[in-house]
Amino acid sequence: MPVREMKVDDLPQVLEIQKALAFQDWNERQFCAEIAAGYALCVVYEDAAQFNTFNAPILGYAIFHLMGPDSELLSIATSAAHQRSGIGTALLDAGLSRLDFAGGDRIFLEVREGNAKARRFYEKHGFEPYAERKKYYADGENAILYQKTK
């Protein structure tokens, strides 16, 4: 599986993916803080043909806070040209496989109400909407809160 932990050296490519998708606006310092945080799992998906070779292109990334019953998916993205080929699923599984759902672990996330692609993706993977935050985003869009408990 061409998923590995994110390194600081990956950030130019990660920031490029984030910028092109324009779905979030984290700066390099925020990514560095996540990479350094003990409770965070930061992963990238490398082009399978070049996995673990020098300068293999990064096609997606995800950031989780793994805190057992209160884990969170903070960010997940696949570069536009490679979407719908299972990369998001592989990145998501890297985090979900660390959780013990039978033991009561849960994972939460929030997503823009109008982000149909991401909502379909989360629902396909067993996330259920449980609350709405009105006008949560700076542009006035609502956030939908999802959880996965099993």
Ligand X SMILES: CC(C)(COP(=O)(O)OP(=O)(O)OC[C@H]1O[C@@H](n2cnc3c(N)ncnc32)[C@H](O)[C@@H]1OP(=O)(O)O)[C@@H](O)C(=O)NCCC(=O)NCCS
Task: Write out the residues near ligand X by the rule CB under 6 A.
Answer: 21, 23, 75-78, 83-89, 111, 115, 117-118, 120-121, 124
Please tell me whether residue 1 adopts helix, strand or coil conformation.
coil
Least Å distance between CB 117 and ligand X? 4
Least Å distance between CB 32 and ligand X? 19
Least Å distance between CB 9 and ligand X? 22
What six digits make up the tokens of 97?
A: 């496989």
E-strand ranges in the chain read 3-5, 40-46, 58-65, 71-78, 107-112, 128-133, 143-148
Sequence-ordered list of residues with C-beta below 8 angstroms from that of 42, at least 6 positions apart, any chain:
5, 6, 31, 34, 35, 61, 62, 63, 64
Please, which residue, 11 or 91, has the CB nearer to ligand X? 91
Please, which residue, 71 or 75, has the CB nearer to ligand X? 75
Alpha-carbon span 83 to 63, nearest angstrom: 18
Please, which residue, 27 or 85, has the CB nearer to ligand X? 85
* Residues counted in the chain: 150
Least Å distance between CB 53 and ligand X? 22
Residue with nearest beta carbon to ligand X: 88
Please, which residue, 19 or 124, has the CB nearer to ligand X? 124
